[in-house]
Amino acid sequence: MPETLEETLRKTVRAATISEVAALAGVSTGTASKALNGRGSLRPETRLRVQQAAEQLGFVVNGAARSLQTGRTYTVGMITTDSIGRFSIPLMIGAEDALGAGQVSVLLCDARDDPIREKYYLRTLLSRKVDGIIVTGRRNQARTPIATDLPVPVVYAFISSSDPRDCSVVPDESDGARKAVRHLLAIGRRRIAHITGPEHHHSAQVRAAAAIEALGAEGLRPATDTMYGEWSEAWGRQAVGMLLSTGADVDAVFCGSDQIARGVAEALREADRDVPRDVALVGFDNWDVMVEGCRPQLTSIDMDLEGIGRSAAELLLAAINGEPVQGQRAQLCRLVPRASTAVLAES
Amino acid sequence: MPETLEETLRKTVRAATISEVAALAGVSTGTASKALNGRGSLRPETRLRVQQAAEQLGFVVNGAARSLQTGRTYTVGMITTDSIGRFSIPLMIGAEDALGAGQVSVLLCDARDDPIREKYYLRTLLSRKVDGIIVTGRRNQARTPIATDLPVPVVYAFISSSDPRDCSVVPDESDGARKAVRHLLAIGRRRIAHITGPEHHHSAQVRAAAAIEALGAEGLRPATDTMYGEWSEAWGRQAVGMLLSTGADVDAVFCGSDQIARGVAEALREADRDVPRDVALVGFDNWDVMVEGCRPQLTSIDMDLEGIGRSAAELLLAAINGEPVQGQRAQLCRLVPRASTAVLAES
DNA sequence: ATGAAAGCGCTAACAT
DNA sequence: ATGTTAGCGCTTTCAT
């Protein structure tokens, strides 16, 4: 408390520059630069002396100065079009992971579905001379390209660009739905219903279509028409009510989301239908809290968002290094089996 | 497809510099700089001409060059010590919000509880000459300072630094617990139990102590000893089992987390105990999916993480502008009442 | 193997 | 009101 001012002053201490390091080591700045960056040919002894001087002074290179010289910032921008949410996080983690390994930092921009903010962020990213940009968002309908003729490469992750030449990495949701249905078929279920989100939602449509197709491939039809509703537990419960009241004969339900599935599980439980014995259950998203909180624990489809983020980052790095990839990449899903589809020992 | 190469080349186009703008406008670079930054005294006509030239050339200032000159980057680093998770997100959103308004960008660093990564990130942030750093993390026990004598200010958000002079913004968890208990008292409950996370967890201890104290202030004691367990739904269910089997007389439960509360709600429901009539329920975190998925919807304590992120960012901006604030700030919680504590019309 | 010097793009102090 | 100029800290030829 008494040292407030002094403290403040100490913290304001200026970092050492390369010429100070050079001076201390008794060499020129050029030599110091080479020594610190492992370039050129130097006497090992000199190199060491410079490194020690740098150490001693706590030297950290000034990125701004370096960027000004080299034209590269080793920074990429990440724009999430909708707010940072449940889907953006794993994408960010994956991207951050792949980029961090490449010594690249991430500038985070939350555009909140606001085109104005988006433009603003794009401008600051450009002004910060990022080496590339990753565009992310919740909806995975195609979106209009964030801009054309940018001086840096752009990769879309999770969402895709409506320009097919743009590089996008998306989950193969049809694959996920197929895997869910095939899994249910594999454990012997034949009367499969599909309860999912709003009909106007792209994901709901794609998953439903793929589910029906997968059943068709085995000469089967869904146990009921696709039940469209909301992405909520409440809808899952409600849908079960409808199912039971119509007396539909169903031995499995594939749900469009884990939340729906959880609602379904609860409602079935309360109607004294055993999961998985009477009705097997598969969700979508593999969202930890839902899947683990569910009783029994929920088999689910994992879109591997982290993997998508990682791929996007890798493609971006490739583009930055002069090897751009065009077009859309769909990444396969993974089924994670749990108790809600566990095959029972007894018949 | 046929234009791949040309496309690539166009995208590689170099952005215009201020001297090009100046040349096009027929002025010197100095004048152009003033015109673009609204400094100095210029003929309005000249200013306009420069702005139009900039527009025409799609000029975006080179941040690296500017930073090199001014010493400020308008960038702050955000280090999350544990992985980006449920708690970090709102903090990030809040911080990003407050900073974005101040034209400051956020560099995201996920240190994953790994001291090596943390040091590495700190180094890159310093090399990028960030104007300041926000340190975040899950645990809200005090952590050792990320470093001493940094050339830039640091603010801790959610977690606090063990050095009391460091600036930290944390939730007042005691306040949250008190509010929960007082709310239950206010709706007439007297036999209140507390089910919470692991005893060794700082938050569990703090909340439990405050709850006991709040009861004591009314001359009451908890209906049972504090029930420590895990931060999970399963533990909530299990705890209810224990409660019922011992025949404890309880008319309300304050839970250390929404997940626990949800487990409690489910177990009570299955034991035909009505919530809130027989047992009122309050959670902690106000985590949307838990609180809304719960039947009935869950009254909960909101730590206002976004607000904490925002405050931290504001304090950081203040410190950057030469008005550092020292010490720990505890931010009050908010009770969000829902059906699980709704007072009934009938007696 | 090392040093000298130019210049990346910008701002700001000083001239005019 | 506008132009000139000197760096900010670094990398990178080009000399030596």
Interstrand relation of B299-302 and B160-161 (parallel, antiparallel or unpaired): unpaired
The gap between B94 CA and C11 C1' (Å) is 33
**CATH class in words for A73-171+304-333:** alpha beta
Return the residue in B10, B57, B60, B69 with the most chain A beta carbons within 10 A, the one to mutate for interface testing. Answer: B60
Asked if the Cβ–Cβ distance from B108 to A124 is below 8 Å, we say no
Q: Chain A interface, mutation test: which of B3, B62, B117, most A Cβ atoms within 10 Å? A: B62
Q: Tell me the backbone φ, ψ of residue B25, rounded to 5 degrees.
A: -85, -10
Closest CA to B340 of B285, B281, B274, B257: B281
CB-CB under 8 Å, A105 with B107 = yes
Q: Is B336 on the interface with A (CB under 8 A)?
A: no
Q: Where are the domains of chain B?
A: 5-61, 73-171+304-333, 173-302
Strand order in the sheet with B154-157: A328-331, A167-171, A154-157, A132-136, A75-80, A105-110, B105-110, B75-80, B132-136, B154-157, B167-171, B328-331
> Does 3.40.50.2300 match the CATH number of domain B173-302?
yes
- Going B302 to B306 to B312 to B318, the CA torsion angle's sign is negative
Of B12, B63, B324, the CB nearest to A127: B63
Which residues in chain A have Cβ-Cβ distances shorter than 8 Å to B11?
149-153
Nearest to B64 among A68, A105, A107 (CB): A68
Measured between CB atoms, does A84 come within 8 Å of chain B?
Answer: yes
Query: Near strand C (CB < 7 A), which residues?
Result: A 26-31, 34, 40-43, 45-47, 65, 68-69; B 14, 17-19, 29-30, 33-34, 36-37, 39, 59, 61-62, 65-66, 68-70
Count Cβ–Cβ pairs < 8 Å, chain A vs chain B: 143
Nearest to A107 among B84, B106, B165 (CB): B106
A308 vs B142: which has the higher pLDDT: A308
Bond prior to B324 in cis (omega within 30° of 0): no
Q: Give me the residue label for tokens 């630094």.
A: B161
A5-61: which CATH architecture? Orthogonal Bundle (1.10)
- B240: exposed, middle or buried (C-beta count within 10 Å: 0-12, 13-18, 19+)? buried
Give the residue carrying structure tokens 């007042």: B172
A217 touching chain B per CB within 8 A = no
| Strands laid side by side in the A280-284 sheet | A227-228, A192-196, A252-255, A280-284, A299-302, A334-336
Instruction: Quote the minimal CA–CA distance from A32 to chain B in Å.
Output: 17
**Residue B115 at interface with chain A, using a CB cutoff of 8 Å:** no
pLDDT band at B9 (very low <50, low <70, confident <90, very high): very low
Q: Quick one: three-class SS letters along chain A?
A: CCCHHHHHHHHCCCCCCHHHHHHHHCCCHHHHHHHHHCCCCCCHHHHHHHHHHHHHHCCCCCHHHHHHHHCCCCEEEEEECCCCCCCHHHHHHHHHHHHHHCCCEEEEEECCCCHHHHHHHHHHHHHCCCCEEEEECCCCCEECCCCCCCCCCEEEECCEECCCCCEEEEECHHHHHHHHHHHHHHCCCCCEEEEECCCCCHHHHHHHHHHHHHHHCCCCCCCCCCEECCCCHHHHHHHHHHHHHCCCCCCEEEECCHHHHHHHHHHHHHCCCCCCCCCEEEEECCCHHHHHHCCCCCEEEECCHHHHHHHHHHHHHHHHCCCCCCCEEEECCEEECCHHHCCCCCC
Q: Do domains A73-171+304-333 and A173-302 have the same CATH topology?
A: yes
In tens digits, chain A (347 residues) has pLDDT values of 334 444 444 445 678 999 999 999 999 999 999 999 999 899 999 999 999 999 999 999 999 999 999 999 999 999 998 877 888 889 999 999 999 888 999 999 999 889 999 999 999 999 999 999 999 988 767 899 999 889 999 999 999 999 999 999 999 999 999 999 999 999 999 999 999 999 999 999 999 999 999 999 999 999 999 999 999 999 999 999 999 999 889 999 999 999 999 999 999 999 999 999 999 999 999 999 999 999 999 999 999 999 999 999 999 999 999 999 999 999 999 999 999 999 865 44
With an 8 Å Cβ cutoff, are A64 and B78 in contact?
no
From CA A36, how far away is CA A223, in angstroms rounded? 69
pTM of the model: 0.93
What's the confidence (pLDDT) of residue A13? 62
**Looking at per-residue confidence, does B73 or A88 come out higher?**
B73
CA of B12: which chain A residue's CA is closest? A151
A300 at interface of B, judged by CB pairs closer than 8 A = no
How long is the CA B29 to C1' C14 vector, in angstroms? 15
Backbone angles phi, psi at B160, to 5 degrees: -125, 160
Q: Which nucleotide is nearest to A69 (CA to C1')?
A: C8
Amino acid A2: pLDDT: 39
